[in-house]
Amino acid sequence: MRGQDALFRRRLERFQEALRKHDVDGAAVRTLSTFTYFTGTKWLRPALFVPAEGEPIVFVTRGEAEEFRRRSWVERVVEFNRVEELMAGVVGWIRRNGMRRVGLEFSVERDSYLLFFKIFKRLNPSVEVVDVLDIVMGLRMIKDDWELDSIRRAGRVVRRGMEVAEEVIRPGMSELEVSAEILRELMLRGSEDPKVYVSTTPRAHAEPFRDLKVPDNGIVTVVIGADWNHYYANAARTFVVGDPGPRVERAIEVKREATKLALERTKVGVPLSAVEREVAGFIEDSGFGDSYVAGYTHGVGLLIEEPPISTIVVPHRAERVRERMVLAIMHSPLMVPEGAVKHEDTYVVWKKGLERVT
């Protein structure tokens, strides 16, 4: 994002400091969000190479360099026509700099393919590959003022998306139709890569189906992630249609109380695991233990779900809450037969408390 060049350069310099501290000679960044974190712009397919000392280099397809330079502070941009040229450029970069240990980010993200790792190892058999995910996320988990402003702006877009969901949901609509109405609004309001998940059945993570319809009496759960300057805010709501019955009413009440408990307990210095135990215990005592999907929170930033991901990465539950983290609370659904009951918002962590942005 041009105009913030010094901010992005400083991020990369801190990364280089960490590489030197861990005796890593350089890093190949192929994950889209981390590429964006350092360069200031999204770019498919991401190919950023960072030496432990010196200037980074980006590889782009021929014809793209001018537009990339307009959007990023990185000056060393190399174009290629064929992927073989890219591979040769990477190998040459490693050999010219005498690199012995090179970092790759072992992530669950798009473009973080195991195939790239295998090709990299085959082309660089004498190089030791080091996982730098923890280094990268150690930087990314704590947000600066510019990041927080972007997330707040994204939060306003999310709020409008939820208003549209409430306006359009009606019996007989497909999940896909509901999603399309929301996505249109999010994009018109400036979200470049919005995420919308709609479920009319018990599904914890629900990309919409065209053949599943809103019932006459039931619930519809909508999860929205909207981005601004590539930074996300995340929220979820369960909408009641008609009269789904007393079990749903009770589940919504329990989820509301569990969320209140989670918000009270999430404070600077507290381990996520401690809050998770309290929340799970409350839900168990409320009679919904079998319906609870563990993992009450996750980070939000350049991804709708990023470390600490207590929802899917158990070791992350040991992470302690820190100021300037951005967390989605309370993520965990209650999976009742009528559907997935969710209520989730994005919060900025401060020593004085939590700031809700959705």
The DSSP line for 102-136 is EEE---SSTT--HHHHHHHHHH-TTSEEEE-HHHH
Predicted local distance difference test score (pLDDT) of residue 116: 73
- Mean pLDDT is lowest, of 68-72, 106-110, 313-317, for 106-110
| pLDDT beyond 80 at 112 | no
What are the structural domains of the chain?
5-140 (3.40.350.10), 145-356 (3.90.230.10)
| pLDDT beyond 70 at 149 | yes
**Which strand ranges, in their side-by-side order, compose the sheet holding 77-80?**
77-80, 57-61, 48-51, 26-29, 101-104, 128-131
51-95 pLDDT, tens digit per residue, is 999 999 999 999 999 999 999 999 999 999 988 888 888 888 888
Predicted local distance difference test score (pLDDT) of residue 110: 63
| pLDDT beyond 70 at 114 | no
Separation of alpha carbons 244 and 259, rounded Å:
22
Q: What percent of the chain has pLDDT over 90?
A: 82
Residue matched to tokens 């073989």: 84
Separation of alpha carbons 358 and 163, rounded Å:
12
The DSSP line for 262-311 is HHHH--TT-BHHHHHHHHHHHHHHTT-GGGBPS--EEE-SSSSSEEEETT
pTM above 0.85, yes or no: yes
Predicted local distance difference test score (pLDDT) of residue 37: 97
Bridge partner list, 199 = 221
Separation of alpha carbons 191 and 96, rounded Å:
41
Q: How confident is the model at residue 269 (pLDDT cuts 50, 70, 90)?
A: very high
Q: State the chain's maximal CA–CA distance in angstroms.
A: 69
Q: Would you state the torsion angle of the CA atoms of residues 261, 264, 269, 274, taken in this order, to the nearest 10 degrees?
A: -10
| Residue of 211, 231, 189 lying closest to 40 (CA atoms) | 231
| pLDDT beyond 80 at 113 | no
44-54 pLDDT, tens digit per residue, is 888 999 999 99
Mean pLDDT of 318-340: 96
Residue matched to tokens 């473009």: 111
Mean pLDDT of 19-34: 95
Helix ranges (H only) for the chain are 5-21, 32-39, 65-71, 83-96, 114-123, 133-140, 145-168, 175-188, 246-265, 272-285
Predicted local distance difference test score (pLDDT) of residue 1: 67
Mean pLDDT of 224-238: 97
Identify the three-state secondary structure at position 156.
helix
Which tokens go with 99?
């690199």
Which tokens go with 284?
């168990």
Predicted local distance difference test score (pLDDT) of residue 312: 82
